[in-house]
Chains A and B, each alone.
Chain A
Amino acid sequence: MVQYNFKKITVVPTGKDFIDIILSRTQRRTPTQVHKGYAISRLRQFYMRKVKFTQQNFHDKLSTIIEEFPRLDDIHPFYGDLLHVLYNKDHYKLALGQINTARNLIGKIAKDYVKLLKYGDSLYRCKSLKVAALGRMCTVIKRVSPSLAYLEQIRQHMARLPSIDPNTRTILICGYPNVGKSSFINKITRADVDVQPYAFTTKSLFVGHTDYKYLRYQVIDTPGILDRPFEDRNIIEMCSITALAHLRAAVLFFLDISGSCGYSIAQQAALFHSIKSLFMNKPLIIVCNKTDLQPLEGISEDDKKLVMEMKAEAMKTVIGQGGEATDDDSVLLTMSTLTEDGVIAVKNAACERLLNQRVELKMKSKKLNDCLNRFHVAMPKPRDQKDRPPCIPQAVLEAKAKKAEETAEKEKRKLERDLENENGGAGVYSASLKKHYILADDEWKEDVMPEILDGHNVYDFIDPDILMRLEELEREEGALQGLEADDDFEMDGAELTPEEQAALAEIRKKKSLLIQQHRIKKSTAESRPTVPRKFDKDKQFTAERMGRQLSSLGLDPSMAIDRARSRSRGRKRERSPDRGGNDGLDSMEVDGDQQNKKLRVRSRSASRSRSKSRPPGEVVPGEGLKDTAQKKKAIKMAKRSSKKRNKDARRGEADRVIPTLKPKHLFSGKRSTGKTDRQKFPLLWIHIQQPVASHVWGSCIRYAVQLQQPAIVENLFVC
């Protein structure tokens, strides 16, 4: 089936956009790099590819445009005529023709330039040829851009055309403007056509669908037609004329007998007679609309005569179709779309007439005879004269009856809403919500309920067995508390032996010592260096110490020492000098003494001046500073300046020792980014952070030379 839906046409880009799209596509999808030194054949191929690729893309896109736009000669004549009326066939064909020539021209350009590229002997020449080729192709498109813009506009309009199937059952509505055609279609279908009091509200065809006897009918609403000679008609009227001319449909000619559309019945009758040639071979029904304003019987004699004339014409079409020559009322009908009076009758009549006509035609056609002898509708022969009505079980009948009663009752029952309406409406009457309370005594319904009474929430006591529940809860809680109490375990000192007591005292002392140590460590963490155990000053964690402690406990340390040593032995064996001096006193007290030199110093000073016992954190003004705050700030500044140094484990300002000048991990291995370059040459980087005078540079170089660091000297000049 040919497409009658023009929504699927791809967007036509404007000339400029078209060029941009294709050129950027070429840039993205073809190789981009080429160098002067490549072989000439490679250069030529590179540029030829670009030219051909561009041409191919232009060709493809232009071809899609040409193919997707419908050819006015290939589609149904209804659509062909409609498009001609709307867009002017010649203009349309010209535009498409221009696109076609553009496509051919681009093909020719590409062919010529590819031929020329074969003679290109340098990069520059090939490149200029490619630039010329692409430029010419783009100029062709630029010249054609008005056509592209026109086609885009057409496409947008075409997409909004109604998709009418010219071959299926169709009902066409025509008449003067403002007679009620759009209201009618709104009533019988779901099409939402705009209905306004001014003429020519409907400016194009609209389609809606309706059902009758299990078949779908198209209903087409047309713009109003004025009584004018054919040549003077504008585009909007021509749309309806086209529809009338090409579609095999049932025609409903609308007549406004009240004259409220602004045109008299005489004018409408004149229109009817001028276009009656278009009604040939179509079931015609004359519909008198707006009967709520003016019934058909009440019109004047002249008008009645005109209407009867029209009816006679319409009857002719009935006779012409071989229908009954009765004065059937299915030729002249009255209705009112406002009161919906007679609307369904009109629709049914139109559908019926159309169906009959189509069936007749189909019966007469030759094709049907081939099918007909393959059909056989079997009608069962009645066995006897017994009447066999459908069997409905008794229960169902009763249920139905009950339901009928209920609905009747519902209608009789008085609703709250009715009550409200009676007593003054929504703002005046407020329904009493307590009407339906279920209480022990009905007189309590209107009582006022307090919420708080004697400081208690009334709702808390509403439950009648609330007291019982409270007692239960309390019992449970008591039980839980008892369980908790059982978990507490109290240590009684009298249960231990004296050795155990001594051990306990030792353990507690050691624990408190450890805690103290840990606290000191934490408080000085900010300005204490994190030194690996190798460089640990106090030598707390040597294997010998462990051995001594174990032997003091009475155990044999040799195996433990061996194990520890075997694990810690790396490439370089550290010979830790035996810091003697504390062999005898290797009990736990010594650790604390050695560690807390600072503390010892402070405690000594504190013990000297016992008369002035000051808390350790207090700061008094003095030493040149005016008050506590300033002194605190000074202390803070002093601490801050030394913090970084301490963290780096430097002894003071002048300590500039670099322990390893060439750490192995920085000078070996491959890394692409310069992560290790920075760290390899410390002297260099230090000086680069601050601007330095030239003599400092000199000394730096000398120092580097001293250290025999030729790499540094080299890098000095490189950087």
Chain B
Amino acid sequence: MPQGDYIELHRKRHGYRHDHFERKRKKEAREVHKRSQIAQKALGIKGKMFAKKRYAEKALMKKTLAMHEESSTRRKVDDDVHDGAIPAYLLDRDETTRAKVLSNTIKQKRKEKAGKWEVPLPKVRPVAEDEMFRVIRSGKRKTKQWKRMITKATFVGPSFTRKPPKYERFIRPSGLRFTKAHVTHPELKCTFNLEIIGVKKNPNGPMYTSLGVMTKGTIIEVNVSELGLVTPAGKVVWGKYAQVTNNPENDGCINAVLLV
């Protein structure tokens, strides 16, 4: 029975076939043609996947080739232009920059007064009510249509208890309730799975905020104690705001970006 490194042993004892190396060389040379044939003939999903792989390979090849072709010759060096440097004939025109700065500060002040803050997604697509709610028929003859089921992801707090079913108007199905969000830190570029504390603001309206509906663009508050952030005063930060960046009902998870 073949045991141990029997292949190497056989090679050591009997060597290779007399045409082994030639065949190997030829086979490798033929691989190029075969690959191109496959690339041309593959259809459908297989073809697409192959094309994608091949494109990536080609890009890499081109990069390495360019790198090899780089020669260490002397090239002309462009001196960096200092920030704010202007040619001689414009030396006496510097009022515009100041004006720009001024208008920026004015804009900021206005924004603060209006209560708008800088968020990663300033504008989101408005969600219509019939998209948000689904009408539930109730009653003995199923004619009453005052109940609504929410079709988007929601958050209910841990102390949430339903109203008696006869009186609840908005149904938040338990399958669509989420407690955790995948929060990305914009500077660290890493993602954490953090617990949601609450829904702060839903851009579609205060009703949705009170219901706890999370759509794209909603500001939520997450528990960041595992990040270990500390205020300058020395207190531990355990809650921070984050903005939802995906459509949770389509992806089955909440992706958010932390507002630092």
A interface vs B, CB < 8 Å? 27, 112-113, 115-116, 118-119, 121, 124-125, 128-129, 132-133, 160-163, 191-192, 194, 203-204, 206-207
Contact = CB atoms under 8 A, between A and B. Distances in A.
B250 A132 contact: yes
B250 A119 contact: no
Contacts of A112: 252
Contacts of A27: 45
B7 to A, nearest CB: 9
Contacts of A128: 247, 250-251
B149 to A, nearest CB: 9
Contacts of B175: 115-116, 118-119
Given A119-B151, A194-B12, A161 B3 contact: yes
B151 A129 contact: no
26 contacts: A116-B175, A116-B176, A118-B175, A119-B176, A119-B249, A121-B134, A124-B250, A125-B249, A128-B247, A128-B251, A129-B252, A132-B250, A132-B253, A160-B3, A160-B4, A160-B5, A160-B6, A161-B3, A162-B1, A163-B1, A191-B3, A194-B9, A204-B4, A206-B3, A206-B4, A207-B3
A394 B176 CA distance: 103
Interface in B213-234: none
Given A113-B252, A116-B175, A128-B250, A203 B4 contact: yes
A124 to B, nearest CB: 7
A129 B249 CA distance: 8
A125 B252 contact: no
Interface string B240-260: 000000010111110000000
A161 B173 CA distance: 57
B84 interface: no
A125 B250 contact: yes
Interface in B1-60: 1-6, 9, 12, 45
B252 A132 contact: yes
B209 to A, nearest CB: 21
A112 B12 CA distance: 56
A50 to B, nearest CB: 14
Chain A CB count within 10 A is highest, among B2, B9, B175, B252, for B252
A129 B250 CA distance: 5
Contacts of B3: 160-162, 191, 204, 206-207
A191 B249 CA distance: 66
Contacts of A125: 249-250
Given A160-B2, A160-B6, A204-B4, 14 more contacts: A116-B175, A116-B176, A119-B176, A124-B250, A125-B250, A129-B251, A129-B252, A132-B252, A132-B253, A162-B1, A162-B3, A163-B1, A191-B3, A192-B9
Interface in B146-199: 151, 173, 175-176
Interface in B51-80: none
A70 to B, nearest CB: 18
Contacts of A116: 175-176, 249, 252
B12 A121 contact: no
A410 B124 CA distance: 108
Contacts of A191: 3
Given A112-B252, A116-B175, A121 B4 contact: no
A167 B245 CA distance: 65
The list of the 6 closest CB pairs from A to B, nearest first, reads: A128-B250, A162-B3, A132-B251, A115-B175, A116-B252, A132-B252
B154 to A, nearest CB: 11
Contacts of A194: 9, 12
A353 B19 CA distance: 52
Contacts of A207: 3
B184 to A, nearest CB: 16
Nearest to A159: B2
Contacts of A204: 3-4
Nearest to B6: A160
B252 A133 contact: yes
Contacts of A121: 134, 151
A48 to B, nearest CB: 13
B180 to A, nearest CB: 12
A24 B236 CA distance: 49
A386 B151 CA distance: 109
Chain A CB count within 10 A is highest, among B4, B173, B175, B247, for B4
Nearest to B4: A204
A119 B4 contact: no
A203 B9 CA distance: 12
Nearest to B134: A121
A79 to B, nearest CB: 15
Nearest to A116: B252
Contacts of B134: 121
A156 to B, nearest CB: 11
Nearest to B5: A160
A192 B6 CA distance: 9
Contacts of B251: 128-129, 132
A177 B249 CA distance: 69
Nearest to B253: A132
B52 to A, nearest CB: 13
Contacts of A163: 1
Contacts of B249: 116, 119, 125
Contacts of A118: 175
Contacts of B12: 194
Contacts of A129: 250-252
Nearest to A20: B49
A118 B176 CA distance: 10
B134 to A, nearest CB: 7
Contacts of A203: 4-5
Nearest to B8: A194
Contacts of A132: 250-253
A124 B131 CA distance: 13
Nearest to B173: A119
B206 to A, nearest CB: 24
A203 B8 CA distance: 13
A669 B6 CA distance: 71
Nearest to B175: A115
A717 to B, nearest CB: 35
A91 B247 CA distance: 41
B15 to A, nearest CB: 15
B5 to A, nearest CB: 7
Contacts of A115: 175
B57 to A, nearest CB: 14
B213 to A, nearest CB: 14
A204 B3 CA distance: 9
Chain B CB count within 10 A is highest, among A121, A161, A194, A207, for A194
Nearest to B149: A119
Contacts of B6: 160
A204 B6 CA distance: 12
Contacts of B4: 160, 162, 203-204, 206
A192 B1 CA distance: 10
A113 to B, nearest CB: 6
A116 B254 CA distance: 13
A128 B246 CA distance: 12
A161 B6 CA distance: 11
Contacts of B173: 119
A413 B72 CA distance: 87
Contacts of A162: 1, 3-4
A14 to B, nearest CB: 15
Contacts of A206: 3-4
A672 B19 CA distance: 55
Contacts of A124: 250
A22 to B, nearest CB: 14
B49 to A, nearest CB: 8
A203 to B, nearest CB: 7
B163 to A, nearest CB: 21
Contacts of A161: 3
Contacts of B9: 192, 194
Nearest to A192: B9
Nearest to A128: B250
B2 to A, nearest CB: 7
